[in-house]
Structure 1
């Protein structure tokens, strides 16, 4: 018996000694050492607990009904994870000054107590910016890792918690996880400073990533329409460390005719076959993204995502010809950085699935779906509404990620997925802004468009058999929408194949109808006897009434202008319009007294972006009696 026990203890000691150590230091390293990005994370599962509406509705935190697991004395339990793991990301648009208590490994005392706000404020170490951020396009996030050996329970010490997501990774027994301690985390100041310096450095360069043995292939080239050329051909194993193209201005515009194609190891289909503008984060014809890994500055396009291969790699550019365009030659410089370090058995190849789709109501938009082994590392999305009532409520959709047949992550809204919040609200998801791993690439209510990006470093999502990564389209957000996206992942082989880009789907859609709502973002300024009341505009005086419309986002052209009225106490009103060309004469517009949703034609206006700032459109009102006119939007239709 003694001999058997000795053998058992010996075997147990071998298992323990073979375990891979996971602690605050190792997890923090994964936020800066991007050479780790291609590596598989065997024996791990990524999950998320969030406040999403379990009925399929849109109460994703408003009432707080779905924002906790259970009540315990003095608080609300928002996470109760069992076994070994690490919290990799916490997000909310609604933090409070209430305390969060983190109980580790079954302890009856919290191992970490911190105000919910201070997870993101940057005022409490080790929760420092930019690894945490407050109100970045409406959302608050923290990527500070919080590991635990035998479980973690988070209790919110307040009466109500609203929107939140807690993403965490479970580790199996091949890992030895060391539980978070504040003292241990604070001892990693040098490593913490290294990560924060990298994330904060806006000078995007290959040297930021400390590769050794980097070689460069540099070319100058001119592409004519219909031509393609090889940028780099590497005939022995290695890894791409960076790709740079310049100048960025040649990829501006509504027509995305240039494509990048990357092929690994003699595969029949390119691993990357994407419009250049989309791949480097342009949005609706303009530079829009400068993330840590990929984007476009004023001086260059860059991609520093590591891409290992076994035998060979080909990077090419293709310039599609269009019969409807007068195309100039593409004159550019290219730089490809690579090393001789071949792909290892525990690494995947890099793939990018480009998708353009207009899903039917109730059908999700699919970023990536397929069978195989790998891990998901990035999303770039553009969304363009296509109907008359231009707005962006299609961004209500929840992301859902099914991995190996199980729903592992369920989000709370489209802008939430990109670490934002509160679209169309001041201080929220309302304008182009971004951080190292996530951000908003564009937002326009008048043009009914938006876009975002998110990259997964420490929180990359492994799959062993299959993945289906989607975002909801309907029934709440049920307008027709055109989506374009890039889903980035590593895998043994491609799990989904992109349709080759074509001229019919790469042209940026420009709506011929733009809408200005009185109750969102205040594109309309109220002057004199016009008030903003209950979300609508009220014209209340007989004279000296006017509104000014900010048309910065409206393309040049001549437009018919309409006003959607809700109520009026008179049957006619005088209208005088001013645009960039002139102040027009007064004219009388007929109204229908009483309540009702009616559209009234006001006249034609010209919009030209030949002045800085752009000249707004103004509407002046006068009437013989107090008009009591209430309207809720101004609509411009291109002639």
Structure 2
């Protein structure tokens, strides 16, 4: 049924009062209350960016990583150790951010906020506008940084989303003992924009604006956008196997302002997880052939697999309600469909709230796409970068939801995010670690829930199996005029059975390029399988070694060359003459090259290799003064029958005795070994 709604109960904002100010062009002057409004104004978020509107990041990333324009190469691109990057020293203090206005700091994050002062100087004034111990920015004890939905600690990550605007300039000085690891996200407005300079002593009006935002964000689940002349569609849908059901088909100009789905799901958790990947949601705007929104149904709502209960500002999920508050405008027509690639009938109650919009407003079209490993960069140039989003046109990036499968364990999230805007060669956003982007710290597996970022799943509470994260960039969205390319380092490869999938959310002009296609159901399911018990670091073991023990050994990429997954198979406590047997598989009869990559380290042994009990070349000495990986080595060419073959490693000489350390407690390490067909 369709019925008119004059207002919706619960916490709400009027989407159309702001339309007078923002629907046709970028405002020339902002009050502090206007800037605070961006924390919760999803309608304004949908407006395409004005020329000169930007978002960038200052962070403590390792500045050894550079782009060389003379050779068009990226140098030390995967160096870790992201806690000490600064702009420069001034006496004993560190300059950690410096930018021209007009602009606004939208987010401050740290993994270790200490007692040393962070001083924020604005508009050339010699006295800092803010002068506090770094910890006081984030512990909620100091006004105005005391709104609980804007200032808090989430799984050891210190966060402050209080807007700090400036007209001419901003400079941030960190005094000794300030802590370690930081990110400062800021936006720059067009040159002629007028904004107030932040003052810790806010007016009553400005304090009320922060209180209003805090009230909305403190109860996200209860927040329901409303608008004058809004209408509502409520229906029960039934989707047969292999079929689709229409959830809305509307004429514009209008916008979806609320989407609710109350699904009927199986009680069995595995069946539920599979079903929410077999069901899909699709939305098309203005009769465009390709969908702007396509995702497995569960993933679209910001978490996977299955139902992981959480509540955030634009999206949330519980067993009985999936909701979206994204503003989804269209000028001519909007159509939404749920598809069913399962073998069971799916039923759900669907509720759509929509409202008319100004046909002349410069809105982008809402896009959300799920993918696995789509549009990966050239592995010879960027072997570890995993693509979050590649798009062309004019728009705003609004965040992404990441689901990963990490059955082999170990910390997976050292990877930095890097956002390239409008073809820039060096990213204007260069992060310090995956968990840092998502607002937490120190590999913490604890679930947390906030308005703009969440860890909704960590299956075993130890960063193994399924981990699900999201971050919504609302006030800190990333505008682009021509293109946007976002990557995050993925240290563990697919060969280790560590897999990523993501839904990216963005606004794009009607002529922009979104090349993401729907993904077949067999690619959405089944890939998160557990490796065989005899596989360590991607290497298959045949039985137990004759002496010593084998285990997964963690490594750091900056310690030497590059191990495939920042780990290796480590053989410990073996004696002279002990043997280790590894399994290799030939797919068919034929000629193969045996290829291996190994670890060298002080105290490592000399070994003799055998393939199917036949000696391979001369002994290999893996003693080295420091920890490194070898290059990929060719170990010979062989005629092999299809099936299993055994590579034997025999210790024939022990390395010199050394004091055991984190990496010096083994005597042989192997990154990978494989048979390559000729």
Whether the TM-score (by the shorter chain) exceeds 0.5 is yes
For 1:372 and 1:235, the matched residues in 2 are separated by 25
How many angstroms does 1:178 deviate by? Answer: 1.7
Q: What CA deviation, in whole Å up to 9, does each residue of 1:341-375 have, x standing for no partner?
A: 24544211101122112866814111111220011
8 A contact 2:48–2:509 mirrored in 1? no
Match of 2:218 among 176, 200, 224: 200
Mean Cα displacement is larger for which, 451-460 or 352-361?
352-361
For 2:402 and 2:417, the matched residues in 1 are separated by 12
8 A contact 1:281–1:289 mirrored in 2? no
Paired residues for 1:475-624 under 5 Å: 479=496, 481-493=498-510, 494-507=512-525, 509-513=527-531, 566=572
For 2:466 and 2:319, the matched residues in 1 are separated by 23
For 1:514 and 1:457, the matched residues in 2 are separated by 42
Please say if 1:52 is aligned against 2:61. yes
8 A contact 2:280–2:297 mirrored in 1? yes
The structure-2 alpha-carbon separation of the partners of 1:446 and 1:150, relative to structure 1 and needing over 3 Å to count, comes to closer
Paired residues for 1:224-623 under 5 Å: 224-247=240-263, 249=265, 252-255=272-275, 256-321=277-342, 327-357=343-373, 362-385=383-406, 390-406=408-424, 407-423=427-443, 428=444, 430-443=445-458, 444=460, 445=462, 447-474=464-491, 479=496, 481-493=498-510, 494-507=512-525, 509-513=527-531, 566=572
Q: What CA deviation, in whole Å up to 9, does each residue of 1:449-493 have, x standing for no partner?
A: 422101011111110011101111349999553211111111113
For 1:123 and 1:159, the matched residues in 2 are separated by 19
- Tell me the residue number matched to 2:670: none
Unaligned runs of 5+ in 1: 1-17, 322-326, 516-534, 537-562, 570-594, 597-631, 633-639
How many angstroms does 1:330 deviate by? Answer: 0.7
How many angstroms does 1:248 deviate by? Answer: 6.1
Matched residue SS, 2:441: coil
Match of 2:200 among 169, 182, 200: 182
Q: What CA deviation, in whole Å up to 9, does each residue of 1:305-336 have, x standing for no partner?
A: 01111011111111114xxxxx3311211111
Which portions of structure 1, spanning 4 or more consecutive aligned residues, are displaced by more than 6 angstroms?
A: 475-478
Matched residue SS, 2:191: coil
8 A contact 1:396–1:477 mirrored in 2? no
The structure-2 alpha-carbon separation of the partners of 1:344 and 1:381, relative to structure 1 and needing over 3 Å to count, comes to farther
- Tell me the residue number matched to 2:40: 32
8 A contact 2:401–2:471 mirrored in 1? yes
- Tell me the residue number matched to 1:95: 113
How many angstroms does 1:186 deviate by? Answer: 6.0
For 1:262 and 1:120, the matched residues in 2 are separated by 39
TM-score by length of 1: 0.72
The structure-2 alpha-carbon separation of the partners of 1:343 and 1:460, relative to structure 1 and needing over 3 Å to count, comes to farther
8 A contact 2:307–2:318 mirrored in 1? no
Unaligned runs of 5+ in 2: 1-25, 65-76, 534-552, 555-568, 576-603, 606-664, 666-678
How many angstroms does 1:567 deviate by? Answer: 5.1
Matched residue SS, 1:416: helix
8 A contact 1:58–1:476 mirrored in 2? no
For 1:343 and 1:295, the matched residues in 2 are separated by 30
8 A contact 1:373–1:492 mirrored in 2? yes
